[in-house]
Amino acid sequence: MTAHNELRLLPWSGPDDKPCFLSTDDSGGHLSRLADDTEAGQLGMAAELLEHAWEVIGDEETDLEELRLLATDLTESLHDALRVATSRGHRLPKPSLSACEGGDEGGPQLPTAIFG
């Protein structure tokens, strides 16, 4: 869920490939759902493209033009996947400060016996 008044990086670009953002305090609105569906579609296409890439690079008879097309498609798909990862990373809850400072109460503890 997006925090109140946070900007969400959307999975599409504006003019000149500039990022688009959505100001929202929930994930139930029309544009939020559209962005979620678009992200899911982009990641699904990336998975299909990766499967196709394994087939193409495994075929010793693949010509240079097909490899160039594959590289272009993979580059575009990686761009989309990185945008999705960035957007989702920004929407993760921030860890509490005490957990980050390494205090005694801040996270799992390992038994000293494992260090020999």
State pLDDT tens for residues 7-46: 899 999 989 989 999 987 666 789 999 999 999 999 999 9
Q: Where are the domains of the chain?
A: 6-88
pTM for the structure as a whole? 0.69
Q: Give CA 23 to chain center in angstroms.
A: 19
Residue 1 in this model has a pLDDT that exceeds 70: no
Residue 107 in this model has a pLDDT that exceeds 80: no
Residue 99 in this model has a pLDDT that exceeds 80: no
Is the Cβ–Cβ distance between 70 and 53 less than 8 Å?
A: yes
Question: Could you report the per-residue pLDDT of 55-81, keeping only the tens digit for each?
Answer: 999 999 999 999 999 999 999 999 999
